[in-house]
Amino acid sequence: MDVSRVLGNALQLLQREPWRCKLFGMWWWAMTVRLQQAGYTDADLYLLGSYIDAESAALMPPADLVEMLRAAFAEYGSDARFPTRTGGYGHPAANW
């Protein structure tokens, strides 16, 4: 897996449609850390600020980088393919 390419593609996707960060589910916080470690900042994507949800981060299972990315994109794909009746998980039209 070309990690830098995967992270770059994720960044481009989120720059176009930031609401899609919700499709990563519990993996979003791990994605923000990995994007920041790759050198991306809130200047690239406003969602990459300094805030970290410590409670969510503490619940993350141990995983190496590749395992984490695979799990994050599996979650993303599942949430994108199986939307809720209110417009899709994370979709702007969803009723929260």
Q: Of the candidates 45, 29, 34, 28, which has an alpha carbon nearest to the alpha carbon of residue 4?
A: 34
CA dihedral 29, 54, 83, 1 (to 10 degrees): 30
pLDDT of residue 16: 94
Neighbours of 35 (CB within 10 A): 20
Phi, psi of 69, rounded to the nearest 5 degrees: -65, -40
Residue by residue, pLDDT tens for the chain (96 residues) are 899 999 999 999 999 999 888 898 888 888 998 999 999 999 999 888 887 778 877 888 888 889 999 999 998 988 888 766 544 555 555 544
pLDDT of residue 95: 44
